[in-house]
Structure 1
Amino acid sequence: MEADDRKMGKISKREVKEHGEVYDYVKLKQLPEFGDLSDKVNDLLKRTSWMELYGIDWMVHLTGIAGIAFSLWLLKSDSIFTLVVGGLLMGCCHSVLATKGGHLSAHGSVCQSPAWNKFWTVFFVEFVGSFSSEAAIDIHIKYHHPHTNIIGLGDSSTWKMPMLPSYIYMFVAPILLPLATPFVGFSNLFGQWMKLLRAVIVVSLGLALHFYLLMTFSGFSLLGAVICTFASRATLSIPYIHVNIFQHIGLPMYSNKDRPKRIYQMATGVLNLNRNPILDYCFGHGIISCHVEHHLFPRLSDNMCFKIKPLVSKFLKESGLPYNEETYSSRLSLFIDKYEELMVNAPPITHFVGLQ
């Protein structure tokens, strides 16, 4: 019976091998409309204050700034333990601004004004994060989100480095990410000379200020300031790489020609990691525990993604769609065990059955 239904386009079975199924059967002709979920979310937004929409996330950003100031004081110490604590704190707080702040501002989610969102994108992504804001928008906003898990467009293949062995890729190479970040951003602007020039200037000014603060307030030499900067920024580089591959790679992939409905594409191709206090704070709910919500409603702040999480979960489950959630440790174990299959070989395209 199920085989006949699949031929008629009534049921789609996700083709997953032995590493486990996040979801099994979906009745394609009974898929809900994205607009139905959007209406529920909009009703909630109408009853939401500015503090919930933007203010709570700004409070997190301000704690990041305060944390960097405190870390500069800690780094004045002669104690090795205090220096390590200061460096780790600086790395975490830098991520709050560069990753969480940069991600939200690139999506236009830090305030209502488009002009101010653009300003904050340049500040968080380029001045603080040392990456081109133009490249970030091209890679993340224009490709990854609209084409999530579409082969060749938004399939997260830019995170793959098949020439590296699994343990090197998973635990060693990410440590070099802070050094590579500016050059990767600049390389994406090759040929766009005015944008490249602006990015080089803003990134250089951000790094120069950071070096200056370490030299002036913490007593570092120039070389020591450079080493401390990149060492502290490597604090969360390993989980940063991990979460970017854990939440899409290994889930169903689609061809652009047979692209499914948006709600089906996002429900099957995006995964939430369980809540983690450090990662949720440093990266934001939208990147960690509310990634499904973020892909469905990318212009919402992290706090609002967290607020609509029960609504989205209930809607998808009641509609017979998957709501993918797994622990960080389970995904890590999967990627180590299936590294060759997931990160080296070309991903299989999920054959989407039925007209949409």
Structure 2
Amino acid sequence: MQSVPEEWREGRDEREGGGAGGGGEGMHAKNGEMLVKRRVDSEEMNGGWKKKNGVEEVEVSEKESLMMELTRMVQKMVKESSWWERRGIDCSILAAAFFCLPPAFLLLASSQLLWFLAGMLLMGVAHAVLTIKGTHLASHGALSESQAWAKLWAVFFIEICGSFSARAGVQGHIKMHHAHTNVIGLGDSSVWKVPFLPRSVYLFIAPLAVPIITPLVALAHLKGNSLAHVVRTVLMITLGLYSQYWLLINVSGFNSPLGALLCMLICRNMFSVPYIHVNIFQHIGLPMFSPTGRPKRIYQMTHGVLNLPRNPVLDWVFGHSLINCHVEHHLFPFLSDYMCLKVKPVVSKYLTERKLPYQEDSYFSRLSVFFHKYQELMVFAPAITELVGVQ
């Protein structure tokens, strides 16, 4: 399947256990058939198992697992989809955001208040699309089938546009959050918890510091990296920040450096509050798991992930995989935003028929929950649920 990263094709990340407790088993497709693969140390040959180069394979038919059955259905849909559906639509949205920047800089040069505000709004939306939707898709390698281009897009969107380290972003998001979703101390979204802040400050004021904190955190993550990597990351982050500042001074005609910096802060903050909200709404408050007793992948993701309803603004700015298709995204993180939306009916129907949870709640309902249960959810660590150890 073209859109599946190499490590998924080899079966390393599609283990039923999602990491710990997976038993070292994986899955792959061969001539259209789903196979389970695992390493063996003995010479035993059980019925249905075939040994080849130290690896035993068994064809899955009637005993096909839930995750493998759902994966097969999704793979079939991806294979039947065009490039435009797999990547083109989302690439077009990102390109449109990029092409909105020149008119935004020109509108900011206007002496008319209405046009000036329109320019600020246009730049804020374009910046959010590039730094939220773009960085998220780039971190998953969902913008290109070429690994070389995927790495290039990750540097462009995460470092130049997002002012963060591409390596740290992939490490924290892919290798921690996705690999250990809702596992306490690993992928439990604890990075967004600031327990000493009052709830109103945390939910509505603290997010406004994200554009300032982000490059500082990126610099902290560079400790221990090679000099070449440190220099590249610092140069890319500086390029992204300084290019916007230079254009505001030389194209938009800002006379004051302070005014240009203030404009940058406002534009980069336009979606900071919902950005923090979305990050905590969809995981915190849901079942948490022990690092040594997590359930199989399909149980972990269906119990620990929640979808928000479709939103005409956030769907396009953040992307479907972060809003109304977050369950689908955690089950199949290699899919683009549009493909998550396309497989959503199949995934939701399958989970419902198998009596697995398909969790959805509205934005304002989750906001109300967090506002009234702030101490329980954000100050004190969520309790481990009885789902720990589900096999």
TM-score clears 0.5: yes
Aligned residue in 2 for 1:167: 200
Relative to structure 1, the CA distance from residue 77 to residue 261 in structure 2 (aligned partners, 3 Å threshold; closer, same or farther) is: same
Alignment match of 2:241 (pick from 200, 204, 207) = 207
Alignment match of 2:307 (pick from 251, 255, 272) = 272
8 Å Cα contact 2:321-2:337 kept in structure 1: yes
8 Å Cα contact 1:32-1:319 kept in structure 2: no
CA deviations on 1:155-202 (whole Å, 9 max, x unpaired) are 000110001000000000111111111011121222224223221111
Alignment match of 2:75 (pick from 24, 42, 52) = 42
1:88 to partner: Cα distance = 2.1
Aligned residue in 1 for 2:356: 321
Aligned residue in 2 for 1:184: 217
Q: Does 1:90 align with 2:117?
A: no
Partner SS state of residue 267, structure 2: helix
Partner SS state of residue 223, structure 2: coil
Alignment match of 2:291 (pick from 256, 260, 266) = 256
TM-score by length of 2: 0.81
Aligned residue in 2 for 1:26: none
Q: Would you say how many aligned residue pairs link Structure 1 and Structure 2?
A: 327
Q: Work out the CA distance in 1 between the residues paired with 2:343 and 2:240.
A: 35
Aligned residue in 1 for 2:230: 196
Q: Name the stretch that deviates more: 274-283 or 193-202.
A: 193-202
Alignment match of 2:368 (pick from 307, 325, 333) = 333
5+ residue gaps in structure 1?
1-29
Aligned residue in 1 for 2:37: none
Alignment match of 1:108 (pick from 128, 133, 141) = 141
8 Å Cα contact 1:31-1:319 kept in structure 2: no
Letter in 2 for 1:216: N
Partner SS state of residue 257, structure 1: coil
Q: Which has the larger radius of gyration?
A: 2
Partner SS state of residue 92, structure 1: helix
Alignment of 1:1-356 (within 5 A): 33-194=66-227, 195-221=229-255, 222-352=257-387, 356=391
8 Å Cα contact 2:183-2:294 kept in structure 1: yes
TM-score by length of 1: 0.89
Letter in 2 for 1:205: L
% same residue: 52
Q: Work out the CA distance in 2 between the residues paired with 1:273 and 1:45.
A: 23
1:352 to partner: Cα distance = 2.6
CA deviations on 1:274-319 (whole Å, 9 max, x unpaired) are 0111111111111111100100000110010010000100011001
Q: Work out the CA distance in 2 between the residues paired with 1:252 and 1:352.
A: 7
1:91 to partner: Cα distance = 1.2
Q: Name the stretch that deviates more: 200-209 or 81-90.
A: 81-90
Partner SS state of residue 320, structure 2: coil
